[in-house]
Amino acid sequence: MKKLLYLFILLISACISAQNAFSAIEIQVERGQEVAVAKLVDDYMKDAKFKEGSGFNLERLRQGSGDYTHRFVFYGPIGNRGRVNSDVNKFERDAFWTKVRQYIKKSRGYSGRVIDWKQGNDKQDNFLVYFVKVKDPTSYAKAHKTILKKLGNSEFKNRTVAFGTFDVGRPDNATHWIGLSGEGTDDLLMMHKNLQEKYVKELTEYFTNRGEVIDLKDMRIEGVAQYN
């Protein structure tokens, strides 16, 4: 029994210490070609076999995205993410990207890590992402956990609440990102209304304790398809 308990504790510790990474490619798709790109993605990804904890998202970029219309996101545990080695060959990968590029006017890519993630419910298929510069990551992480603990059973109960880093190709010179999920624009607007009217104390403490944070931009993202 002691041996089983020890192994169980090791397993839990490994899961807690594991950290996910992501690589994202924002693209501007030619007007009227969204369906064609989605089909190319589905043909390439629908039978994909991913490593444990890995996957791929196709997302539609909405308010705040500028000229970019979609985003490809590859995610999974750092050092062991993506499709299994025998699942796809170089020829198939190159053929996919060659086909996709004919519909793309411009693109940019970046990679980072997920520091904290609280999963919301399935109706929350929109994501509001803030691109920020965090001066004191330690203070920010503490403030994030504190407000999440205080509002986790109220305003944030059904929402995904997350934050992480931009480490490679930092978009808009951001060092970190903050994510909040919602069911759509009005739901996200209602969240802001509730935070500013019902949780003034909690919000004030959060902004005070997180240290200096420079808000660069925010962007609403809508999920289109997920493969994992």
Q: Which pair of structure tokens corresponds to residue 94?
A: 């190159």
Residue 222 within any structural domain of the chain: yes
Predicted local distance difference test score (pLDDT) of residue 18: 60
Is 0.85 topped by the overall pTM?
Answer: yes
| 176 touches 166 (CB < 8 A) | yes
Average pLDDT, the chain: 91
* Phi and psi at residue 65, to the nearest 5°: -90, -5
Residue 72 within any structural domain of the chain: yes
What end-to-end distance do the CA atoms of the chain give, in Å?
A: 35
| 209 touches 146 (CB < 8 A) | yes
Predicted local distance difference test score (pLDDT) of residue 135: 97
Predicted local distance difference test score (pLDDT) of residue 24: 98
Residue 172 within any structural domain of the chain: yes
Residue 3 within any structural domain of the chain: no
pLDDT (tens digit, 9 = 90+) per residue, 70-114?
999 999 999 999 999 878 888 999 999 999 999 999 999 999 999
Residue 173 within any structural domain of the chain: yes
Q: Determine the distance from the C-alpha atom of residue 223 to the mean position of all C-alpha atoms in its chain, rounded to a whole number.
A: 11
Residue 194 within any structural domain of the chain: yes
pLDDT bin (cut points 50, 70, 90) of residue 10 is very low
Predicted local distance difference test score (pLDDT) of residue 85: 82
Q: Which CATH number goes with the domain that contains 117?
A: 3.30.70.100
pLDDT higher than 50, residue 6: no
Query: How many domains are there within the chain?
Result: 1
Q: Determine the distance from the C-alpha atom of residue 195 to the mean position of all C-alpha atoms in its chain, rounded to a whole number.
A: 22
